[in-house]
Chains A and B, each alone.
Chain A
Amino acid sequence: MREVWIAGAGITRIGRRGESLSDLMAEAAHAALRDAGLERPDAIVAAAMNPEEFVGDGNFASHVATHMGLAETPAMRIETATSSGAAALYAGFAQVAAGLRHRVLVVGGEKMTHLDTPRVSELIGRSIDPYERSYGATMPALAGLVARALIARNGDAPREMAQIAVKNHANALRNPYAHFHRSVTIDEVMDSRMVADPLRLLHCCPISDGAAAVVLTAERAAVRITGIGQGTDTLALRHRDALTSFRASRAAARAAFAMADFGPERVDVAELHDAFAPFELISLEDLGLVPSGKAGRATLDGETALDGRLPVNPSGGLKARGHPLAATGLAQIVECVWQLTGRAEGRQVPARVALAQSIGGLATNNWVTLLEAS
């Protein structure tokens, strides 16, 4: 297997954007290509979770390649629900590692804010098991079941969940690309509107537009992908034993660390999939970044803050940077690259090894990527 390096990274401002999805993806892609000093890649891997329904465009790899002026570059689209960006990174990684391609552009994006919240919730909900959906289960509903189980295990979980939102909003204040630039307090989070009891509005990520891209290459660059792992689980939540740990995250981490040949103790900074605040607590433990049962304490003690032992979601995370579905897995990688190369202006942490974790659906198709500065 050849070594795979990241030669360029680009991202759009995340938030409510007036541009089309293909405009946003072109903006991120061109930024990544510029950063890599590359005019044309050998191939494109594009990710959008549901452009057919969000924006009404199909044949999307060709659509977006043509739009960005690369109609003659071979392109394909990858989809694993909300982790599609990370899955696209894997597809690009595999092409370069196998020696099939030399330089691959990976770009992901989503355009959502032009639709009303019930419609967005319905479209995201398509990734839920049909029987559970027939009972009105939405992503927040299933996350609400998970959050209640977490609280039953640990009575302090409501404060810990709130602190995740407080921390990630504070980090996003320092990220010019983030959706939110406002801080929140623990009380504001705990008093915010109930969405899916015990999950409140400020525990949940916003609806965002945006895109992110990286250029992968077989030539040595500043950051190397040292491990990528995928983990999966049943579509239906009711077919699983555990609610407070995700098999898909544990399996993805195991595979990524095995490929990288090192353990979680080497990770200096992490971008985790905090679509709902309890997921950051669960993920910290599933990935082995903190001992089982200690994620809440570590969070309240500031271990995962920007100046802590292991900064988590310096970008603001899905919670405050925003979550334009298929952009997210790549937005995490862009933040990791910037952290590893000293370009995370205003929120730079000392780091040589970074971890990104992306959750697809209700943890049915998850990815863990490990990056190392050269």
Chain B
Amino acid sequence: MRIETIQGSRCPACGLTVAPPAPFCPRDPVAMTSVELEGAGEIVSFTTLHSPPAGFRSPLHLALVALPGGARFICHGAETRGLRIGSRVAIEAVNDVYYFSHLGALDRARLFWRRTGRAGDRVHAIARSLAKRAWKGRERVSS
């Protein structure tokens, strides 16, 4: 799984981080500085539009996602089944349009190992087996 890098900006005055980048902070008349954000985060809210504007497929899934570092990001998704506020999602760019996808336990474990900076097959294998157990446990609980 590849984690997308999302370009953003941060306000030197209040710390607000926004994505995509903006020249000025919306809350302070100061120039923002560029930051790179990891394209994975938590669902803040989501909706499904049943009569989207012209040029969009119906139904249109939209989510507001909190990225690490505090920026909130709006993106599309293929579906919202099983999605909850607080769900972990990955964000992927397809032709410069951003989509979220629900992270399974396996993906979450991979993300965790990637963050700790310990790559390699052995670690990956451990992650996989841990994640499998976690995933199975989750399935039982949720079904």
A and B co-occur in one complex? yes
Q: Which residues of A pack against B, CB within 8 Å?
A: 117-118, 121-122, 125, 131-132, 135-138, 140-141, 144-149, 152, 193-199, 234-240, 243
**Interface size bracket, B side:** 20 to 34
Q: Shortest 8 CB-CB distances between A and B: which pairs? A: A144-B47, A238-B72, A145-B45, A197-B48, A136-B56, A234-B26, A152-B85, A149-B45
The distance from the CB of B13 to the nearest CB of chain A, in whole angstroms, is 14
Quote the shortest CB–CB distance from B87 to chain A (angstroms): 11
What 0/1 pattern do residues 40 to 73 of B give for CB contact below 8 A with A? 0000111111111111100010101000000111
Query: In this assembly, does B103 line the interface, its C-beta being within 8 Å of a C-beta of chain A?
Result: no
Smallest CB-CB separation from B65: which chain A residue?
A238
Q: Which secondary structure dominates where chain A touches chain B?
A: helix
Whether A132 lies near B26 (C-beta < 8 A) is no
Closest residue on chain A to residue B59 by CB atoms? A197
A-B contact pairs, 14 of them (CB 8 A): A131-B20, A132-B74, A135-B62, A140-B49, A141-B49, A141-B60, A144-B48, A144-B49, A149-B44, A194-B50, A195-B51, A196-B48, A237-B64, A239-B72
Question: Is B74 a contact partner of A138 (Cβ separation < 8 A)?
Answer: no
Q: Is the CB of B62 within 8 A of A243?
A: no
Decide: A141 and B72 in contact? CB cutoff 8 A.
no
* Least Cβ–Cβ distance between A277 and chain B, in angstroms: 15
Instruction: Please state if B51 and A136 are interface contacts (CB–CB under 8 Å).
Output: no
Among A131, A140, A196, A236, the most chain B Cβ lie within 10 Å of the Cβ of A196
The residue in A140, A141, A149, A236 that gathers the most chain B C-beta atoms within 10 A of its C-beta is A141
Contact B49 A196 (CB under 8 A): yes
In the assembled complex, which residues on chain B have CB atoms less than 8 Å from the CB atom of A238?
Answer: 18, 64, 71-74
Contact B72 A125 (CB under 8 A): no
Whether A196 contacts B26 in the complex (CB less than 8 A), given A136-B56, A145-B45, A146-B45, comes out as no
Decide if B115 is an interface residue (CB 8 Å cutoff).
no
Q: Check B16 for interface membership: any CB of A closer than 8 A.
A: yes
Contacts A138-B49, A194-B50 given; does A243 touch B74 at CB 8 Å:
no
Among A135, A146, A194, point to the contact of B74 (Cβ < 8 A). Answer: A135
* Closest A residue by C-beta to B17: A239
A152 partner residues in chain B, CB cutoff 8 A: 45, 85
B53 near A118 (CB under 8 angstroms)?
yes
B88 at the interface (CB under 8 A from A): no
Report whether A243 and B44 are in contact in the complex, using a CB–CB cutoff of 8 Å.
yes
User: Chain B's nearest CB lies how many Å from the CB of A94?
Assistant: 25
| Docked pose: A56 CA to B18 CA in angstroms | 36
How far is B32's CA from A331's CA once the two chains are assembled, in angstroms?
Answer: 41
Query: What residues of chain B have their CB less than 8 Å away from a CB belonging to chain A?
Result: 16, 18, 20, 26-27, 44-56, 60, 62, 64, 71-76, 80, 85, 97
**CA distance in complex: A131, B60 (Å):** 16
Chain A residues whose CB sits within 8 angstroms of the CB of B53 once the complex forms: 118, 121-122, 125, 136, 138
State A117–B50 Cα separation when bound (angstroms). Answer: 13
Per a CB cutoff under 8 Å, which of A131, A132, A199, A234 touches B47?
A199
- Among A117, A146, A147, A234, which residue has the most Cβ atoms of chain B within 10 A? A234
Given known A-B contacts A195-B51, A197-B48, A145 and B18 have beta carbons under 8 A apart: no
A266 to chain B, nearest CB (A): 32
Docked complex Cα distance between A152 and B85 (Å): 7
* Residues in B neighbouring A137, C-beta threshold 8 A: 62, 74
In the bound assembly, the distance between CA atoms of A122 and B56 in angstroms comes to 13
Q: Which residue of A lies closest to B70 (CB)?
A: A241
Please, how many angstroms separate the alpha-carbon atoms of A197 and B50 in the complex?
8
List 5 additional A-B contacts (Cβ < 8 Å) besides A118-B53, A195-B50.
A135-B75, A144-B49, A149-B45, A194-B50, A243-B45
A138 CA to B45 CA, complexed, in Å? 15
* Structural contact, B16 and A239, CB atoms closer than 8 A: yes
B74 touches A131 (CB 8 A): yes
Measured CA separation A122–B71 after assembly (Å): 27
Chain B proximity of A152: nearest CB distance (Å): 5
| A117 closest partner in B (C-beta) | B51
Q: How far is the CA of A199 from the CA of B51 in the complex (A)?
A: 12
Report Cα–Cα, A135/B76, bound state, in Å. Answer: 7
Instruction: Using CB atoms, name the residue of chain A closest to B84.
Output: A152
Question: Judging by beta carbons under 8 Å apart, are A234 and B85 in contact?
Answer: no
A197 x B47 contact (CB < 8 A): yes
**Residue of A whose beta carbon sits closest to that of B80:** A197
Cα distance A137–B54 in the bound complex, in angstroms: 11
CB neighbours (8 Å) of B75 from chain A are: 135
B26 neighbours in A (Cβ, 8 Å)? 234-236, 239
Closest-CB distance, A231 to chain B (whole angstroms): 14
